[in-house]
Chain A
Amino acid sequence: DTEVTQTPKHLVMGMTNKKSLKCEQHMGHRAMYWYKQKAKKPPELMFVYSYEKLSINESVPSRFSPECPNSSLLNLHLHALQPEDSALYLCASSQDFEGTYTGELFFGEGSRLTVL
């Protein structure tokens, strides 16, 4: 069983809707990530949070808005998306960076988003 939980597993939304994807981990990890994965492609990094602060934004359009309310939770707010944003959105977490960083990512099972 995965220790990173993502909800919902499936989401269908129109281009004018506002929705959110949620991610939760209870492994004490202080870094959390959002990745986007299109069919038959590798995951692409979107955002990285370190100690609840946004540390990396890979030039993601503003229609995607991340939020990290606390060290266990990560949200991705969606607004005015385009059909090409349809993809599997993966959340991941990793250990503390300082001195013990090994880069190992723990992934959730993903939220499959369809934009109509």
Chain B
Amino acid sequence: NAGVTQTPKFQVLKTGQSMTLQCAQDMNHEYMSWYRQDPGMGLRLIHYSVGAGITDQGEVPNGYNVSRSTTEDFPLRLLSAAPSQTSVYFCASSYRQVGYGYTFGSGTRLTVV
């Protein structure tokens, strides 16, 4: 089924560990983004990409890295996990043309202990 696939769905990390959250889309979307959602809050933008090889920072980029080597994949790397990074992470993608909304993945629930 076409859509945005995120793995893993759940993850527990110890403080200081690193890991990569995977995101893949099969809709040939040019634009991809990572958001985090904390309890009682809306989603906040971490990093985004307007095409392969191009990434930029959002509102809350500290502690995270991204790369976009292909159109399909947009992994999010946590360099040294901290309890403040406990959150639900959503990946989203969209066509280049303005007017198309973003399609969201089902999320990765991350707990840092």
Instruction: Please determine whether chains A and B interact with each other in the same assembly.
Output: no
